[in-house]
């Protein structure tokens, strides 16, 4: 798989998933993610994997949860409306600790919106779309190569910590084509879920209460245990005790919190001396970087902070840079979803200016540059 290839972001996600060990894909075609399903339908049978087109997005995510319980690395892909339908099962995967990966290629909403146009309006849905306190990991590629790399990382995180992981891309990243040099497969780190040693006395949800990850037996391998979306004890059977729910939910939250140092990732450009900091992710960051470079040419000390991990948000790193800046500009194709988190993290150290866009068009660098220069001294 190594070598230079011309590919689009959706193709890179698919190849990254296969490299990470994808064995089962269930999905429903939806613009602008359909190429992922198409390519999986072609490539998975070649390596002994399974592809199934489901009747809808609810069935799709339910199917990959079931496949994950049998030990198969599993994935689905969708866009905004389908992602909304998946929310109940994302909560189910969180509580049952089923490792799954969901690719969400964002488009304009609300509702059906404009299916072929880019947006970044699913940020808060990715974090809080399902009900209850739950831990989730959301990765945001900024180019085609990162679509490959972060999909591999998504599988590794899902397997190691037994959590649903979302790759939050968008129509521009998904359909853009770039020359990508793929790494040699032998150099790519692949993580598999923790396994129990013996069926004797196996407790499917027994783990260190301080954020431990329980070993996961595969259905059909001699282990029998109960899986439910109800609050459950270490044996997997339902419990209506408040202290059991308290301990379970807190452990699920802590296992991600304890791993945040390893999970969080971000990119900075020209931030050592920046006075105007632009925060952007995904395709908006491409235009933002061009604007930052042009501002530098005009003598304005601009810099870029690009989170590759949207949740958990890399707040400590952003706070340190923002504290030395005079202004913070948040450029995103929505009306201020990441801006809420930036404002919380910056905590008044610098004024935060929102630059939102919801017309289905990618930012032009000059739009961002005009805001940078508008407040420049």
| 104-135 pLDDT tens trace | 999 999 999 999 999 999 999 999 999 999 98
Cβ atoms of 316 and 339 within 8 Å: the answer is no
pLDDT of 376 over the 80 cut: no
Give the pLDDT band of residue 319 (cuts 50, 70, 90). very high
Among 86-90, 183-187, 191-195, name the one with the lowest average pLDDT.
183-187
What's the pLDDT at 281?
98
**What would the DSSP string read from start to end of 70-126?**
TT--EEEEE-HHHHHHTHHHHHHHHHHT--EEEEEEE-B-STT-BTTS---TTHHHH
Give the pLDDT band of residue 309 (cuts 50, 70, 90). very high
Give the pLDDT band of residue 312 (cuts 50, 70, 90). very high
Residue 356 CA from chain centroid, whole number:
21
pLDDT of 73 over the 90 cut: yes
What's the pLDDT at 276?
98
Nearest to 26 by CA among 70, 159, 128: 70
pLDDT of 375 over the 70 cut: no
| Mean pLDDT score, 223-232 | 95
Q: Which domains does the chain have, with CATH numbers?
A: 3-187 (3.40.50.970), 265-374 (3.40.50.920)
- State the average pLDDT for the chain: 96
Alpha helices in 141-281 (DSSP H): 144-161, 171-175, 242-257, 260-263
Buried b (16+ CB within 10 A) or exposed e, 97-131: bbbbbbbbbbbbbeeebebebbbbbbbebbbebbe
What's the pLDDT at 4?
86
> Residue 8: in which H helix or E strand, if any?
strand 3-8
Query: What is the gyration radius of the CA atoms in the chain, in angstroms?
Result: 21
What's the pLDDT at 2?
60
Count other Cβ atoms within 10 Å, centred on residue 377. 6
């Amino acid at each position: 798989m190594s070598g230079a290839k011309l590919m689009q972001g959706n193709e890179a996600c698919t190849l990254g998933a296969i490299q990470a060990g994808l064995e089962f894909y269930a999905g429903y075609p939806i613009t602008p993610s359909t190429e992922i399903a198409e390519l999986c339908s072609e490539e998975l049978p070649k390596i002994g994997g399974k592809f199934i087109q489901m009747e809808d997005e609810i069935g799709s995510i339910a199917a990959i949860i079931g496949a994950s319980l049998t030990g198969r690395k599993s994935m689905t892909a969708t866009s905004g409306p389908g992602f909304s339908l998946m929310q109940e099962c994302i909560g189910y995967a969180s509580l049952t600790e089923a490792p799954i990966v969901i690719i969400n290629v964002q488009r304009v909403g609300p509702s059906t919106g404009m299916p072929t146009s880019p947006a970044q309006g699913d940020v808060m849905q990715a974090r809080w779309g399902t009900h209850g306190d739950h831990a989730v990991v959301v990765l945001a590629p900024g180019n085609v190569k990162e679509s490959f790399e972060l999909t591999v990382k998504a599988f590794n995180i899902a397997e190691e910590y037994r959590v649903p992981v979302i790759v939050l891309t968008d129509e521009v990243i998904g359909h853009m084509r770039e020359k990508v040099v793929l790494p040699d497969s032998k150099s790519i780190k692949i993580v598999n879920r923790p396994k129990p040693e013996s069926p004797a006395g196996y407790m499917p949800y027994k783990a260190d209460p301080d954020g431990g990850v329980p070993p996961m037996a595969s259905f059909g391998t001699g282990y029998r245990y109960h899986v439910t979306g109800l609050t459950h004890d270490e044996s997997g059977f339902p419990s209506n005790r408040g202290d059991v729910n308290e301990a379970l939910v807190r452990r699920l939250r802590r296992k991600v919190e304890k791993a945040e140092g390893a999970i969080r990732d971000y990119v900075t450009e020209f931030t050592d001396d920046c006075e105007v900091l632009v925060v952007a992710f995904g395709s908006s960051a491409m235009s933002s970087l061009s604007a930052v470079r042009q501002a530098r040419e005009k003598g304005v000390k601009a810099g870029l902070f690009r989170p590759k991990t949207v949740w958990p948000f890399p707040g400590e790193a952003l706070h340190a840079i923002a504290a030395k800046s005079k202004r913070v500009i948040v450029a995103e194709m929505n009306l201020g979803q990441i801006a809420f988190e930036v404002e919380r993290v910056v905590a008044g150290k610098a004024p935060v200016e929102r630059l939102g866009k919801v017309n289905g068009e990618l930012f032009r660098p000059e739009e961002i540059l005009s805001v940078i220069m508008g407040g420049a001294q």
